[in-house]
Structure 1
Amino acid sequence: VIVNPAAGQGACGKAWPEFEAGLRSALGDIDVTITARAGDETDLARQGIADGAEHFIAVGGDGTMNGVLNGIMGDGAPKNDRVRLSVIPAGTANEMARAIGFHGDPAGAIQSIASGRVQRFDLLQAECVGLDGDAHRHFGTLAISWGGAAEIVYRTNNSRFLKKLGGRFSYYANTLIVTLTYPMQNCDLTVDGRQIKDQVYYSGLVCNMEFLGGGMRLAPGADHTDGVANFLFFKDIPRREIIFQKPSWLFDGHHVDHEKVDYFPGQVFEVQGDTDALVD
């Protein structure tokens, strides 16, 4: 069990004694480790794999779960295909828990873990060149974003004051801030071998889940078990349209109908830009 006490602006740490009692009652003896800083989740999971662990429980938010996942995966598939990853939602948005039916329900998550019920999930794999010039590979379950969307996630994760007001509010507020300040970018796309040249864009995402960012319906119809991701590409939409229409679009999913929004399924996506951009 890997616990991030800082998740949910410290709410996870406060609730952990109750979660621990529930886990020990349901599972018996458990091995608990507490993170002290960002990145510990990955290191602890990697060590667990080396020690032969087969079941990991991430207690925290989506970032905690993602860190544990990357520790399990390492450079590729885990050596042991019996490895399982469970999550007890105690973070800001908890989108992974939403997808599996336990959003805001840690007790229900513990009961599900105790039952031994297993769900299979598609994983996303991102490969990019970092600002350090080195190649990086990361795995995720929710989405891969770049450009404006990645900037929004970065600001949300680092906005302590806004996160205290709730995951949905924090994401929404940072969406408005980034929309006003983020410059349009140029890139070439390749989707399942098909090239799309000279695209001007504000933001792009490869989505594995229908709901992201505090309950926004960013990827209508996305299915995390179908072996296909959904590509969402915001092109050069005028700022006034983004500011005055985008909030409602994103929560009801109607943004995908806009003439300057591309939305289609695929499995392999490649983006090459002429300027540096954040990837999340």
Structure 2
Amino acid sequence: MSERPWWVIVNPVAGNGRTGRRWGGLEARLRLEGIRMEVVFTQEPGHATALARQGLEAGFTTIVGVGGDGTLHEILNGLPLEDPGRMQAIRLGMLPLGTGSDFVRTFGLPRDPIAAALRLREGRIHLVDVGQVTCQRAGETITRYFINAAGLGFDGEVADRTNRGIKAFGATGTYLVYLFLTLILYQNKTVKLRFDGVEHSGRMNSVLVCNGRYFGGGMFIAPPAEVDDGWFDVILLGDLGKGEIMWNLPRVYRGTHLTHPKITWRRAKEIHVEAKERMFLQAEGELIGEAPASFRILPRALAFLA
């Protein structure tokens, strides 16, 4: 059981403000349970990245985020992931209070934040893979990290609308509302990909690069995925029509969609994606850029508490 204090990064606007409203009572209960922590709050988009770095500079080695997958994504990008020596001492955990907390579903972490915190305190570590993506944003080339899933195309546009819209329908409901809005306007893209040197091209709805199994507030998008196997699970949603998407959506929640003739699944360590049309890129539900984009896996790069 770890006795060292946690550096807790709270995103008060996560879950449409639910995290901020609940945190006061939750903090009091956690302290009654004997959990020692220093608490800081994000004040703007991207702030969790800076706060993660601040905590490490102050000597904390256990960082716990309070929010959803977007909060997790920001904290991840504040860690020295390219420095394995420093990463050996760092632990990351999440208390799920955001709109979507898909990565922790893979570990069966309790949805109740108190129960989740008590589990984190046990100190059980999972060495998990991390994805690195280099893409375009505002005419510049940037590099970001992700832990659960990234997607280009339809998925990226859904993420954009979800982040700009009202999140008042719960994780699944919110995602579905903006999925259907995007479905009305979206046009499939002409895409060229390279998986570990092998080329593939065609009209596609989405390119999904997965480390975890779930996204979109509970969609079982990559059933074969393992977070510690050193491989991406790549799901190509081909030239699907609007009716085909709606008809097959229930299969995505059950994880039975990979047998569809217009859906391709394969594993890869490196992927490069180009598109003839503009193709947005999301990671952990956050819009981060657009194609062209290159991905590579960092095997077992992070000690995740769950």
With structure 2 as the length reference, what TM-score do the two structures score? 0.84
Q: What SS does the corresponding residue of 1:195 show, helix, strand or coil?
A: strand
Match in the other structure for 1:165: 169
Structure 1 residue identity aligned to 2:274: Q
Q: Which has the higher contact order (CA 8 A, sep 6+)?
A: 2
Instruction: Please give the alpha-carbon distance, in whole angstroms, between the structure 2 residues aligned to 1:86 and 1:207.
Output: 20
Match in the other structure for 2:148: 142
Calculate the aligned-residue CA RMSD, in Å.
1.8
Per the alignment, do residues 111 and 29 of structure 1 end up closer, same or farther by CA in structure 2, a change over 3 Å counting?
A: closer
Q: What SS does the corresponding residue of 1:120 show, helix, strand or coil?
A: strand
Match in the other structure for 1:156: 162
The answer to whether the aligner puts 1:201 opposite 2:208 as a matched pair is: no
Give 1:151 deviation, angstroms.
1.0
Per the alignment, do residues 103 and 135 of structure 1 end up closer, same or farther by CA in structure 2, a change over 3 Å counting?
A: farther
Equivalent of 2:96, from 67, 77, 89? 89
CA distances 1:75-117 after superposition (whole Å, capped 9, x unpaired): 6657342111111111112112222222422112111122122
Structure 1 residue identity aligned to 2:267: P
CA distances 1:14-59 after superposition (whole Å, capped 9, x unpaired): 2112321233334554211111111110111122223332111101
Structure 2 residue identity aligned to 1:279: L
Match in the other structure for 1:217: 220
Equivalence map 1:1-280=2 (5 Å): 1-73=8-80, 79-130=86-137, 132-160=138-166, 163-196=167-200, 198-243=201-246, 245-280=247-282
Comparing both structures, which one devotes a greater share of its residues to strand? 2
Is the 8 Å Cα contact of residues 192 and 274 (structure 2) preserved in structure 1? yes
Per the alignment, do residues 119 and 75 of structure 1 end up closer, same or farther by CA in structure 2, a change over 3 Å counting?
A: closer
Instruction: Please give the alpha-carbon distance, in whole angstroms, between the structure 2 residues aligned to 1:187 and 1:195.
Output: 11
Per the alignment, do residues 191 and 172 of structure 1 end up closer, same or farther by CA in structure 2, a change over 3 Å counting?
A: same
Q: What percentage of aligned pairs have identical amino acids?
A: 31
Is the 8 Å Cα contact of residues 95 and 103 (structure 1) preserved in structure 2? no
Instruction: Please give the alpha-carbon distance, in whole angstroms, between the structure 2 residues aligned to 1:17 and 1:78.
Output: 36
115-124 or 18-27, larger mean C-alpha shift: 18-27
Instruction: Please give the alpha-carbon distance, in whole angstroms, between the structure 2 residues aligned to 1:76 and 1:166.
Output: 37
| Matched residues, number | 275
Structure 2: give runs of 5+ residues left out of the alignment: 1-7, 283-306
CA distances 1:169-227 after superposition (whole Å, capped 9, x unpaired): 1112222222221111112110011112x421111101112221111111122111211
Comparing both structures, which one devotes a greater share of its residues to helix? 1
Structure 1: give runs of 5+ residues left out of the alignment: none
Is the 8 Å Cα contact of residues 131 and 146 (structure 2) preserved in structure 1? yes
Give 1:143 deviation, angstroms.
0.4
31-40 or 16-25, larger mean C-alpha shift: 16-25
Structure 1 residue identity aligned to 2:263: V
